[in-house]
Amino acid sequence: MKSIAIADEATMIPKETTTIFGILAAISFCHMLNDIVQSLIPAIYPILKDSFQLNFTQIGLITLTFQISASLLQPLVGIITDRRPMPYSLVCGMGFTLAGLLLLSTASSYPVLLGAAALVGVGSAVFHPESSRVARMAAGKRHGLAQSLFQVGGNAGSAIGPLLGALIVLQRGQGSIAYFSVVALLGMIVLYQIGHWYAGNIAAHTHESKQLRAAPRHFSPARVQAVLAMLIVLMFAKFFYTVSLSSYYTFYLMDKFGVSVQSAQFHLFAYLGAVALGTVGGGYVGDIIGRRRVIWWSMIGVIPFALALPYANLFWTGAISVVIGLILASAFPAILVYAQELMPGGVGMVAGLFFGLAFGMAGIGAAALGWLADETSIAFVYQACSYLPLIGAITFFLPDIERAKA
């Protein structure tokens, strides 16, 4: 009996004070698996473009369908689960992704492609708010690091996905997408175990959320709304710009420099790998120096590199894109934790809102940039997008939440 009591006490202490790296590693791993599947969609665009005779606008609409189905549902899922946590919904979300994968591998028409993309988007809508909550539950006091570790799994998956797409799908054809159903099944198994841990920690998490909601606020509701509006504008600038790299980078390299599809995919892998490293750095540094400073350096520091990118040769295009990925990626974990500290007690809602905004803005951006590329050229798209990071100057007006709390 004594040993059992000691074990129970030991399991309760980490809930409040200690970062539980085992859970963070598991949820980050599942985020990687989830985003490997998601990143296959843009990775196989060259095959789909040739097989279905698609133009850039239709390619953009595939991304828009995926992103919109994810973005519209994520805030709703976050609000619902703030009130009633659903530990095993993570498994259901990966199930939608699995269904979308299998449909994508057998699609024979453009509407079926759109339906498959929508299913993958629904899987993301369920996965991200609840998995972000799991990361915060396991964070202890290191919320920035926890969100970075969680997000870097997704970034790693986004980097690995195009590489696997180049090595497998581009070599074997559309039907080989079904091979990745193994990835989704593995994710469902791990997420079931995470859901079991989550279910055992709901009481402590609910108590903490009630305490946060009852705590005094440092800003008026009007000020909170104004800051949220600024964060949304920053998200617009960040994700409209990054979608030009993630969705059209391969086409840009092939069009401007005449490289092969495989070579362009390896350049995309290098960029997305840099994004993963930048994500880890943003959360870790944010815990030390504050989220506002990380957001400021990320949004302002990327400006000269973004302006130079459209005029660089092949070598410098690759190098500059890696630097852009490192700098700009550090903003998102800082923005997310900053918003959660701005609105304590609404972890799921904030995660759903900002992940939903990320998906929605990326989808709208992909469709809009695809149309612009059809009307002008890929090179013009990159020239126009190079000015978007200038919007990051509004970070000067973000309040210092850490100082306000002190």
For the beta carbon of residue 390, count every other beta carbon within 10 angstroms.
13
Whole-angstrom distance, CA of residue 243 vs CA of residue 155:
14
- Please classify residue 214 by burial: count the beta carbons closer than 10 Å to its beta carbon, then call 0-12 exposed, 13-18 middle and 19+ buried: exposed
What are 181's two structure tokens? 């159903």
Considering only CA atoms, which of 228, 232, 281, 20 is closest in space to residue 136? 20
User: What architecture is the 19-405 domain classified under in CATH?
Assistant: Up-down Bundle (1.20)
Taking only the tens place, the pLDDT of each residue in 324-352 is 999 988 888 888 888 877 877 666 677 77
**Are the C-beta atoms of residues 143 and 340 closer than 8 Å to each other?**
yes
> Is residue 167 scored above 50 in pLDDT?
yes
pLDDT tens for 206-248 read: 555 554 554 445 667 888 888 888 988 888 888 888 877 877 8
Q: Tell me how far apart the 2 most distant CA atoms of the chain are, in Å.
A: 74
Of 253, 282, 307, the C-alpha closest to 150 is: 282
Taking the C-alpha atoms of residue 271 and residue 266, their distance in angstroms, rounded to an integer, is 9
With a pLDDT cut of 70, the percent of the chain lying above it is 88
